[in-house]
A and B are shown apart, each in its own frame.
Chain A
Amino acid sequence: MLAGFLAPYDPAEQDREHPFAPPTRVHFIDAEGKLHGWPFIYGLTPSPDNFAEYQEDRSRTFSVRPFVPGDNYSLLGFSLRRHLFGIDEPGRIFLLGTDGYGRDQFSRLLWGGRISLLAGLIAAALSLVLGMVVGMVSGYFGGFTDDALMRLAELFLAMPWLYLLFAVRAFLPLHISPTVAFFLLVAVIGTVGWARPARLIRGVVLSARERKYVLAARGFGATDFYLLRRHILPQTMGVFLTQAALLIPQYILAEVTLSFLGLGVGEPVPSWGNMLGSLQQYHILASYWWMLAPALVLVPVFWGYHVLADFLHERLEFGQ
């Protein structure tokens, strides 16, 4: 959400002078040993002999300033141009270096995170809603409906997950704009993963259906829809939330994987997956470590969701 404000540059802005620039060092003490109140950086001069090698130009300093005006971005419908930090022209600050086109990795990481995290979130919501509907219908009505739906779920579970995802992606168009690709990707990831939550929710519904108060409510003439919504839905919340915490990171990874392989969100829109895509070339992987940043940020994100899932699992499912 706040990517536009936090990032110093537009994610598509290229700086042809600085391909594969290393992360800029932020200094407090200058060459003469004088302490500065504000952090500052030196400019980078491309080395005359070698491609993508740089030296710090100590002759001129650029202070890092807060709330500077820069490229336009929109936040909640407003068009803004203040950024959290930035430096004076012609200096450039690259906190995480640049990629092969001289685009600022830090800005792209923030913008790409927006895409990747959102994709995970929407896809998980889609799966869960599908799973919820199927699970409740299946568990509540039982009989033939239940059998048919659960056989179908078994088929989806029988295929290795990534193969299934790839196969569904294979049958969809390849050359599409990034926006369409994003929604397509979310739809594919979301629909492919409905089977597991559906089965779990069906299990909960099966036991909830036979509870005394549900039977009592039915005796008073409650309709099926009312029973499902009022009495059975709350019972499934524990499983629902735990599954959400498990599915979201899995789906973020799915987006990253597909985009990494070039089957997901495409350039110039950054996503954590397509930012990693260039690493398929070994020389980039070996020489420019900061290109790995999008994979590294996945670790704290996943860790957070794991802790959340464990917590929800203990509190909600066994707490009842």
Chain B
Amino acid sequence: MAYLLRRLLHGVMVLVGVSVLSFLFVQLAPGEFFSDMRLNPQISPETIASLRAQYGLDRSLPVRYVNWVRSVAKGEWGYSFAYGLPVSQVIWSRARNTLLLTVTAALLAWLISIPLGTYAAERRNRWGDRVTVAGSAVLLTVPDLLLALALLIFAIRTNAFAAGGMASTQFADLGTFAKVKDVAAHFTLPVTALVLGTLPIFFRHVRASMIEALALPSISAARGHGIPRRRILFRYALPAAANPLISLFGFSIASLLSASLLVEVVMSWPGMGPMLLEAILARDLYVVIGAVMLSTLFLVAGNFIADVLLYLSDPRIRQGAV
């Protein structure tokens, strides 16, 4: 338990550090949301000054930081200038859409890569292995951007999938079942792009650690005892190979979040990507900080889940040996 507590504390420390770091960056930033208003002759300098005072922009950095922490505690995460709403309200629906994408993509990618990696590891250097390894190498060199664009072209040309957005224009009139179907149709394309982008990385790691696990003496012994192949692979070899893979699972959240940022913009999925882009262009800094914090939170949460899984799966950690 002490191990898990230590990991949790570490995660919290990271979040605090990231928030301090983002505020330091804000201080360095030239220009702010109200700079553009200065150019407008219809808005008097006094109005701008009072607006800045209202949002606390005239205070010193530590004061603003403390105010921000307070608003986080209240669940508001600061105030968005552009939307005129607390940041949490702006971000929340977006974050839900992003999570929907990344979590589905992560699960799918793992579901495909574990059997595929195991298959390749077992047939090491035979043609089945060669083909899958070559395929993953090809996918690895195709940038996410090209993948997303190519899928989009495919969708537009064939009309098989809904291209762009999250829902059709007549979405509000549909029944519950039709709504789910509609979202699923829009959702296929970005998820495919994300899965294809991350699959080769997962696949390579699964293959490498399975090759290592299959070389263990215990596996040879199990073979000698005549235990069936399938049972050896999934009951004995996979748990032995699981440790680095679970850690990778934590990190995979980060790479997926980054990838989905781009895919969302290309496919106009209403997630955190387009929102962040707009916020950057409008200098809506608290939204930017909120997005960075939230993505870090997802990452820390992913790592923590990985730690819990490690704790459950690896007796060495449970007994405090590592």
Residues of A within 8 A of B (CB): 151, 154-155, 158-164, 166-174, 253, 256-257, 260-263, 276, 279-280, 282, 285-286, 289, 292, 295-296, 298-299, 302-303, 306
Contact = CB atoms under 8 A, between A and B. Distances in A.
Interface of B: 14, 17-18, 21-22, 25-26, 28-31, 137, 140-143, 145-146, 149-150, 152-153, 156-157, 163-164, 253-255, 257-259, 261-262, 265-266, 276-277, 279-281, 283, 285, 288-289, 291-292, 295-296, 298-300
A286 B157 contact: yes
Given A158-B18, A173-B30, A295 B296 contact: no
A256 B262 CA distance: 11
B97 to A, nearest CB: 16
B146 A166 contact: no
B140 A306 contact: yes
Contacts of A296: 146
Most buried by A among B145, B281, B299, B300: B145
14 contacts: A159-B292, A159-B295, A160-B295, A163-B257, A163-B276, A163-B295, A170-B29, A171-B26, A276-B149, A279-B149, A285-B152, A299-B143, A299-B146, A302-B142
Among A158, A164, A289, the one with the most B-chain Cβ atoms within 10 Å of its Cβ is: A158
B288 A285 contact: no
A279 B161 CA distance: 19
A257 B262 contact: yes
Nearest to A306: B141
A155 B22 contact: no
B126 to A, nearest CB: 21
A166 B143 contact: no
Nearest to B146: A295
A282 B143 contact: no
A104 B301 CA distance: 48
Contacts of A171: 25-26, 28-29, 285, 288
Given A155-B14, A159-B296, A166-B280, A302 B141 contact: yes
Nearest 5 A/B pairs, CB to CB: A162-B258, A171-B29, A295-B146, A170-B280, A160-B257
B115 to A, nearest CB: 25
B143 A295 contact: yes
Nearest to A305: B141
Contacts of A253: 143, 145
B25 A164 contact: no
Contacts of B281: 174, 262
A173 B283 CA distance: 9
Contacts of B31: 173-174
A163 B91 CA distance: 14
A156 to B, nearest CB: 8
A298 B146 contact: yes
B261 A158 contact: no
A257 B259 CA distance: 11
A166 B276 contact: yes
A177 to B, nearest CB: 15
A166 B280 CA distance: 8
Nearest to B24: A171
B98 to A, nearest CB: 11
A286 B153 contact: yes
A279 B281 CA distance: 19
A170 B21 contact: no
B156 A282 contact: yes
A257 B145 CA distance: 8
